[in-house]
A = this chain, B = another copy of it.
Amino acid sequence: MDVIDRLARNLRRLRQLKGWSQEEFAFRAEIHRTYISDLERGARNPTITVVSRLATALQVPIGDLLD
């Protein structure tokens, strides 16, 4: 499993753990809702600045999303 799929699974898992919809997550991370959808399906290859915003919104270290 590559890093894009690991990110996808971690995002969905951690978001649901918070009880957030994709829309609420998107708002908190300041990222478009449909982009979150793409990321959770492993359909994008984001830059580290995007991943950093996601990690901040989820309140986890970046490594928790990618390792």
Q: List the 9 closest pairs (A to B, CB-CB), nearest first.
A: A63-B63, A3-B52, A62-B66, A45-B47, A61-B67, A63-B67, A3-B48, A45-B49, A47-B47
Q: What is the CB-to-nearest-CB distance from A16 to chain B, in angstroms, rounded to a whole number?
A: 21
- Candidate in A3, A4, A48 with the most chain B CB atoms within 10 angstroms: A48
- The A contact surface, by secondary structure, is helix
Q: Using CB atoms, name the residue of chain B closest to A48.
A: B3
**A interface, CB within 8 angstroms of B:** 2-4, 7, 45-49, 51-52, 61-64, 66-67
Q: What is the CB-to-nearest-CB distance from A61 to chain B, in angstroms, rounded to a whole number?
A: 5
**Of the candidates B4, B45, B63, which one forms a contact with A66 in the assembled complex, judged by CB atoms under 8 Å apart?**
B63
